[in-house]
Structure 1
Amino acid sequence: MTRLATCACGQLRATCQGEPATVALCHCLECQKRTGSSYGVAAFFPRADVEPQGEAQQYTRPGDSGSSVVFHFCPNCGSSVYWEPARMPDLVAVAVGAFADPDFPAPSVVIHKERRHGWAADI
């Protein structure tokens, strides 16, 4: 299976082969800031199965684990499309929303539930 994730304007893309190794929903405060929502959802694919295309800007920040995370976003529209967590060097995370696919596999892992907004569904 081949899936295509794109930014809002379509300039930055990530073509992903196969099924994700895992899909995680994160309630951490940094994901809330990055997405502008109450959580972020990432599909983690083996690095060899992700082919980025287009121009990307990078932003690096420390993750909750203390390891860095490098985010790749479109310089035109600002959408985050994929990121590279240093603590998982063999995987690339791709924003599930960037696939724009309502049939995308659901999260199998939920992290930082302690930061979940009280009004958000408990998933």
Structure 2
Amino acid sequence: MHGEPLGVGVCHCLACQRRTGSVFAALAAFAAPYEVSGTATEYVHVGDQGGRFTFRFCPVCGTSVFHTEEGHEPSPVLVAVGAFADPSFPPPEDSVYDCRRHPWVKLPPGVTTFEKDPT
């Protein structure tokens, strides 16, 4: 990735919970253009509000690496924060699908929450 993220957020929707095998997905958005090297396995998911998301995974280990959403041109790329393996990565600013957040998950102070996707 080049430059700083446009923002960092977490998503608690059931699709992200299933996709990550965790209770939420932590994502950092970066502006286009971006470069991809290597190969990825793709999976397209249609969200609750009709958005089409293309998720890319490592074809060897299955790690969720990044995704894009159709219809947002130029589309930012959303990269899994864990892919950076950097404990000093900035904390989330937003939390979406808070209606699906596990009650024991506590967010950092100042995080803006949305019951669903604010689009």
Shorter-chain TM-score: what band?
A: 0.7 to 0.9
- 1:55 counterpart (27, 39, 47): 39
CA RMSD of aligned residues (A): 1.2
Give the drift of 1:88: 3.1
Secondary structure class of the residue paired with 1:37: coil
Task: Tell me which of the two structures has the higher relative contact order, counting C-alpha pairs closer than 8 angstroms and 6 or more residues apart.
Answer: 1
Give the drift of 1:87: 4.4
- 1:77 counterpart (35, 57, 61): 61
Give the drift of 1:29: 0.5
More strand by share: 1
AA aligned to 1:77 is: C
Distance of 1:35 and 1:18 partners within structure 2: 25
Q: Which residue of 2 aligns with 1:28?
A: 13
Distance of 1:122 and 1:23 partners within structure 2: 13
Distance of 2:78 and 2:54 partners within structure 1: 10
Q: Which residue of 2 aligns with 1:110?
A: 95
- 2:30 counterpart (45, 48, 51): 45
4+ residue runs of structure 1 moved beyond 4 angstroms?
Answer: none
Distance of 1:39 and 1:85 partners within structure 2: 18
Superposed CA offset, 1:32-80 (max 9, x none)? 00111100011110121x2111111110010233110001111111111
Secondary structure class of the residue paired with 2:35: strand
Give the drift of 1:118: 1.4
Number of residue equivalences? 107
Gap regions ≥5 residues in structure 1: 1-15
Give the drift of 1:122: 3.7
